[in-house]
Structures are given as structure tokens and as C-alpha cells.
């Protein structure tokens, strides 16, 4: 990869972004590199956002993918804790299971790929079949993870940022309405990767945006995540059927292996006989967060005892899909040449609940003309 446009991340550039620049930034040299050509010949890019302590996110305009995330351990040693590839084309050619990507128009599953809105029924691509039951997953065949976004480096409150925009056409992947999406990634001095989502539409449509980074706090490719200790502030979950579609119930997790209201190693109870774990092949469920306020609050923590790396997840969303990499099987080899084995990465996807367009009792995911969807998720890293 060659550097094609080194530049300073200064106010002149920031002014071109559609966001407020509140103060003159402490400019640091930033860069954008080529991230290789897509199979159709278009060039993808890789942007680096870094703070003074070395915490760094490399993000592509292809799929809005968080390609790398460099986090210090308890001795200050940086490691890349995000699974991924070293060029954009591999994400398509190797059929990446959404490594690091922005997910939309609808993150998670829609039963039978169908929903009815304002009296009209819409059909979506059936691109997933857990338990042999077809559904639409993560926006269909070509979701927001597989498109080239328009990228603008910016500075927000002095922090390096990247503003990504994508206009999803009316009818794209079966969804109604032209949806204009803006996602802003920023890196803060507190070692946070912040993601601000915004969307507007010209026709009513379901929208559920998230990020699908696979974390391994030992460093990508360094084995299983079963020893990571997880806590989620979520006393309830939305149980699923064999097709990983919610039944519509909201049930307490107390007394089940899905109870992470106190910290537990992920592997501790993963083999306990339990119908939900059987359907998911492990953890692959939506937790109903205790925080239903729509305000940015701490909802989960993740600790890897050997390195000491610690991650806190904050979100305004009402749900959290915890997926522990059950479908990884060692066939995909990542950017540093290491195979990604079974459960070698885990996702904490902040979201609205799966299949909400077909579940009237779940919080609504319908965005209407004149409304602006706004959502924020923040991953904060430290070590202990
Ligand atoms: C989501 C789903 C999982 C799986 C992964 C991608 O997190 O919940 O079942 O499909 O995406 O492999």
C-alpha cells in the first residue's frame, strides 16, 4: 500500500465537513493510504485516526470498516485488537463475515426477508439460513458493509475524525425510500473510538445501523476469546427460534447462562445445556439493555486478564447483540497471516432488536420523512 495523500488534519479540512468544528485542533500529521482496488476497479482508502498516546483506528471508506484498532496492554504494549484483512478486495473475495464493518440498512435479521409497512409488503434478499430457515441478514446481499462510502477527514472538538456518507437508493436491497446516512468515527484523548450515526429518508423505512467489529483483546489472531470476561447491564433478552429470529418475548436472563449482569468468562457456561445456546451455536443473541433512556450510557465491559486490556461500551441504543464468533472456523487468514479460529473474535453490536419491523411490541425502527435518526456508540479502552 502506498501513501497517496499525506495531509494535515487541520481546520481547513475540517470546515469542509458537515459537522461543527468547535476549536482549532491540535493538528497531528494524518494520512490516507490506498487500501487497494475493489474487484470492479474502484480504489478504496484507509484513513488513520490516532491520539497522542498511540491509540489508533485505521478505517476504510470501503464498508466503513474498522480495519485495525491499536490498544495498549497493562505494560503499554500496543496490539491490533480488531480482526480483518490488509486490503479491501479480500473482504469481498474471502467473504468476510462483516469484519469491522458498518451494517445497514437493517442490522441483524428480518424473518423470511419480509415486512409490511403502511399497508405495503416489502421483500428483501434472503442471504442467511440459520437452522435452514431463510431470512434477510445485515441489509441483504450488498449491505452498507460492501459499498464505497464518501469519506472526509475532519476534526471534532480537536479530535481526529472521519465523516462517511452513503446514499442508499429507493428500492436498494428491497428497502423503500432514499436513505442518506452519515457516520462519523472519532478518536478521543481518552482512548475512545466514538461512532455517531445519522440518517434521513424520503419515504418511511426500517433502519438499524451498527458496527460489526470483532474484538480480540489479546490481539487479532491470538487465539480464542473464551477467556475474556464480559459484563452486560442487561437483565433481559429477546429469545430466538431455530432461525435466530426473536419469538417476540422479552425474558429475564437470571438463572441462565445468558446472565452477564455480573462479570463472567465467556467460556464459563457456553457448554451448559440450554436451548438458546443450542440455537446460536454459542452466544449470538440480542440483550435488552437496562438503559432504555436513549442517552449515552455504559452498557458493557470486556476484560482480557492476561494482557489487562479492558473495553467499555457506551451506547444510546436499546439493544446489544453479543456474538462470540461461532461461525469462525479457521479457514479465514487475517492481515497478519494468522488463521481466525472458532470463537477467535467477538462482536458487541449496539442496535435495535432483530426483526423489529415484524415485532410490534419492540421499540420501533421505522424512520419517516422529516425525522433524523441519531445514535451514538463509544468503545473506550484501558488496561488493568
Ligand atoms: C451477526 C449474526 C451472527 C452472524 C454474524 C456474521 O452477528 O448475529 O449470527 O451471522 O453476524 O457471521
Amino acid 104: pLDDT: 98
Amino acid 26: pLDDT: 37
pLDDT band at residue 219, thresholds of 50, 70 and 90? very high
Amino acid 18: pLDDT: 36
Can you tell me the mean pLDDT for 252-258? Answer: 98
In short, whether 185's Cβ falls inside 6 Å of ligand 1 is no
- For the segment(s) 32-383, the CATH number from 2.60.40.10, 2.40.10.10, 2.40.110.10, 2.70.98.10 is 2.70.98.10
Residue 2: is its pLDDT beyond 80?
no
pLDDT band at residue 7, thresholds of 50, 70 and 90? very low
Nearest CA to ligand 1 atom 7: 323
Within 10 A of 364 (CB to CB), how many other CB atoms are there?
12
Reported as type and span, the H/E element at residue 153 is strand 150-156
Sign of CA dihedral 340, 342, 344, 345: positive
State in Å: Cα 258 to ligand 1 middle.
Answer: 17
Catalytically active residues, by annotation: 212, 349
In short, whether 347's Cβ falls inside 6 Å of ligand 1 is yes
In short, whether 97's Cβ falls inside 6 Å of ligand 1 is yes
Least confident of 22-26, 146-150, 286-290, 371-375: 22-26
Residue 378: is its pLDDT beyond 80?
yes
Helices (DSSP H) in the chain: which residue ranges? 11-16, 88-93, 275-280
Nearest CA to ligand 1 atom 12: 97
In ligand 1, the atom with minimum distance to the C-alpha of 130 is 9
For residue range 282-331, what is the model confidence (pLDDT) as tens digits? 999 999 999 999 999 999 999 999 999 999 999 999 999 999 999 999 99
In short, whether 323's Cβ falls inside 6 Å of ligand 1 is yes
Sign of CA dihedral 159, 164, 165, 168: negative
Name the residue ranges covered by the structural domains of the chain: 32-383
For the whole model, what pTM was predicted?
0.93
For residue range 259-282, what is the model confidence (pLDDT) as tens digits? 999 999 999 999 999 999 999 999
Burial of 250 (0-12, 13-18, 19+ CB in 10 A): middle
In short, whether 145's Cβ falls inside 6 Å of ligand 1 is no
Residue 168: is its pLDDT beyond 60?
yes
Q: Among 83, 91, 137, 326, which is best to mutate for testing ligand 1, by the most ligand atoms less than 8 A from CB?
A: 137
In short, whether 351's Cβ falls inside 6 Å of ligand 1 is no
Amino acid 332: pLDDT: 98
Nearest CA to ligand 1 atom 5: 97
Amino acid at each position: 500500500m502506498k501513501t497517496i495523500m499525506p495531509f494535515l488534519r487541520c481546520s481547513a479540512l475540517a470546515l469542509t465537513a458537515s459537522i461543527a468544528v468547535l476549536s482549532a485542533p491540535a493538528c497531528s500529521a494524518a494520512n490516507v493510504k490506498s487500501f487497494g482496488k475493489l474487484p470492479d476497479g474502484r480504489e478504496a482508502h484507509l484513513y488513520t485516526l490516532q491520539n497522542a498516546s498511540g491509540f489508533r483506528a485505521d478505517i476504510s471508506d470501503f464498508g466503513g470498516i474498522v480495519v485495525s484498532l491499536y490498544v495498549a496492554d497493562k505494560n503499554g504494549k500496543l496490539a491490533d485488537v480488531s480482526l480483518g484483512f490488509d486490503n479491501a478486495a479480500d473482504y469481498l473475495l474471502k467473504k468476510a463475515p462483516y469484519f469491522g464493518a458498518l451494517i445497514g440498512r437493517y442490522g441483524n435479521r428480518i424473518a423470511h426477508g419480509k415486512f409490511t409497512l403502511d399497508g405495503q409488503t416489502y421483500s428483501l434478499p434472503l442471504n442467511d439460513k440459520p437452522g435452514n430457515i431463510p431470512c434477510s441478514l445485515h441489509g441483504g446481499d450488498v449491505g452498507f458493509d460492501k459499498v464505497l462510502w464518501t469519506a472526509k477527514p475532519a476534526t471534532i472538538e480537536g479530535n481526529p475524525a472521519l465523516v462517511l456518507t452513503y446514499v442508499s437508493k429507493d428500492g436498494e436491497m428491497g428497502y423503500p425510500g432514499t436513505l442518506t446516512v452519515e457516520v462519523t468515527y472519532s478518536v478521543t484523548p481518552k482512548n475512545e473510538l466514538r461512532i455517531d450515526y445519522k440518517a434521513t429518508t424520503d419515504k418511511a423505512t426500517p433502519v438499524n445501523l451498527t458496527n460489526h467489529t470483532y474484538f480480540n483483546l489479546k490481539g487479532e489472531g491470538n487465539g480464542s476469546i473464551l477467556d475474556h470476561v464480559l459484563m452486560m447491564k442487561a437483565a433481559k433478552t429477546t429469545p430466538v427460534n431455530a432461525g435466530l429470529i426473536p419469538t417476540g418475548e422479552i425474558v429475564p436472563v437470571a438463572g441462565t447462562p445468558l446472565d452477564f449482569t455480573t462479570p463472567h468468562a465467556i467460556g464459563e457456561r457456553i457448554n451448559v445445556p440450554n436451548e438458546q445456546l443450542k440455537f446460536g451455536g454459542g452466544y449470538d443473541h440480542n440483550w435488552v439493555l437496562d438503559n432504555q433512556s436513549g442517552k449515552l450510557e455504559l452498557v458493557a465491559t470486556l476484560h482480557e486478564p492476561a494482557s489487562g486490556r479492558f473495553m467499555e461500551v457506551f451506547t444510546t441504543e436499546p439493544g446489544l447483540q453479543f456474538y462470540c464468533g461461532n461461525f469462525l472456523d479457521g479457514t479465514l487468514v487475517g492481515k497478519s497471516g494468522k488463521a481466525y479460529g472458532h470463537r477467535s473474535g467477538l462482536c458487541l453490536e449496539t442496535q435495535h432488536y432483530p426483526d423489529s419491523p415484524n415485532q410490534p411490541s419492540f421499540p420501533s425502527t421505522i424512520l419517516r420523512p422529516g425525522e433524523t435518526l441519531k445514535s451514538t456508540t463509544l468503545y473506550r479502552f484501558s488496561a488493568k
